[in-house]
Structure 1
């Protein structure tokens, strides 16, 4: 069994005098690790430590007046009196002055916009919170590079968009894939693996089936091998090969599983750093300052889509954002804030169609045999979020419009 994660080192920096208002829903990471162990290894809003800024990185100090350089008044100099200029010279000066005024209109004096005008409205910029500044003192958080890391993951989404591969799979159907994923959820629970391992394993199965035509008797072998590869990628102490042979009820031999591992890795060119919705969900929940219960509800909604083939082709970041928006709406915690829009890259209108589909999926379970996800999130460890009553579609429509 993998060793439980140790708590993060506390920063020695003193917090700033002006702290952000505390949210009563937030749960400290120590409590989260105690109640969910490896399944939810870290808090969505990060550690509570604060750190003062590195100093003024703006150019405000450049606008200050330079001391020592004062504009003095020139003393009148005694010059010899000259005769007044000729009329032709004065006329030329007047013409040149008029030309210069035409070329450079007077714009030195700014005109203040009237109240209610368009210019005044453009000045009002929505406030976006810096969600990484609180973890700058934590060397394990990589807060300095967090924004660039998630921008890179958004770019990699384009490379791993799934086509409709079921058309060229003669012996595999959508229902078989759903049963396989339901079994993989049970494997993740039995081995106490991270949620990232489950999501990545499902992605590996889908991308492998895009390239290789497989028979139904090899489908469980593909799924178990995908969990093995994802465990080696995500876990500190992954299960061994014999564990997967045992959980498959010795349906396959050791050589077959190792050969399938080689086949999957070569087919995917060993590029298995595939963006998954779970990572984006934790990032967006941190932007929303969501509580552990709200984040768990969003995780439940997102994990429900793993069994559904129709959601496999959705972008992971959009699926995570829609799951969080539906969870926030179900909890009456407000809508899509400017901070969420900035860090996710989606406005609320972009997510409304997918939010409605998720609520429909939560309301009407397509198959009663697939109960692994609902059973998992019905436990007290996960706040029994699977028992949450779905929203009425008309009320959801009204809240999304408001």
Structure 2
């Protein structure tokens, strides 16, 4: 006699005679609570109420921009204040004085050589179509390294290329190949030279690459100030002009960003150049920003006569709203 095998359909067994046998698969499973105890309901309700009150209190303390973007998780409106408070404390650790370019510390270099190097790197950065943050990381790596290590003028370009190589690895999704960095130096250095200098820079800086940049603060302060795309590009143009000039190294990145926005408002003749909200969110008042903004304005006015034209060429492109073509009056009225 042939016995048919059982066939499985879900939780039921069907035999050859068509009789159904229910498989009790839930017998050994633990039973879950279908009704929450009263004390647990009260605790959950109280916790939810406290969290809601805390969010409402935090929301009231936000600036107008953060309140508008409260529902967009990408702007992290509830945490921006803590984030930028932390960045303000971190920027103090990485400040480099412009006095490092002296005869004792760098006898073979001067500020003009640094400006030529950065002007060339800005041109390379533009041709490689790199991210904006990459340029700022490169600049900070160069200055911090030169602050610790005496370098000859023959090695200065190598320091710049190796710093750009590190910054690309750190910021770019698809960084250029090593051979591309050798090519842009017209084969003045080998691949091994770039790799050795890369290791030397990282060891000197103890692999500390992350540093709050003026570009980072510009993105935050520009939104709070309500700058449109063209005015934001103009502020970035001012920041990159200040990168080339060594005298701006005495200012903190957040201060440079605030001064650039203040100068943009002056150039555009905004009725209120520096609002109370901007003073509260940046920590700088109008009186503090005036001198730095005046120096930026002088650099901007003389940019067309400078031999270093990489920044001006970059911001003459439609991508940056051609802000370098804006004519600025020679004298901007100063408030007494």
TM norm structure 2: 0.78
Equivalent residue in structure 2 for 1:165, among 100, 103, 127: 100
1:311 paired with 2:248, answer yes
1:361 paired with 2:296, answer no
Distance 2:290 2:171 in 1: 32
Contact 2:62 2:78 survives alignment (8 Å): no
Q: 2:281 maps to what in 1?
A: 343
- Structure 2 unaligned residues grouped into runs of 5+: 1-50
Distance 2:274 2:85 in 1: 20
Distance 2:55 2:191 in 1: 61
Equivalent residue in structure 2 for 1:247, among 178, 184, 187: 184
TM norm structure 1: 0.66
Contact 2:303 2:309 survives alignment (8 Å): no
CA change 1:58–1:314 in 2 (3 A) is closer
Aligned-residue offset at 1:138: 3.4
Q: 2:290 maps to what in 1?
A: 352
> What per-residue deviation string (whole Å, max 9, x for no partner) do you get for residues 213-250 of structure 1?
00111111110111111111211221121111111111
Q: Provide the aligned C-alpha RMSD in A.
A: 2.1
Q: Which has the higher contact order (CA 8 A, sep 6+)?
A: 1
- 1:260-339 superposed matches below 5 A: 260-333=197-270, 334-339=272-277
1:207 paired with 2:141, answer no
CA change 1:129–1:258 in 2 (3 A) is same
Contact 2:141 2:163 survives alignment (8 Å): yes
Distance 1:170 1:156 in 2: 31
Aligned-residue offset at 1:348: 0.9
Aligned-residue offset at 1:129: 2.8
Distance 2:140 2:177 in 1: 21
> What per-residue deviation string (whole Å, max 9, x for no partner) do you get for residues 18-52 of structure 1?
xxxxxxxxxxxxxxxxxxxxxxxxxxxxxxxxxxx
Contact 2:215 2:236 survives alignment (8 Å): yes
Aligned-residue offset at 1:136: 3.6
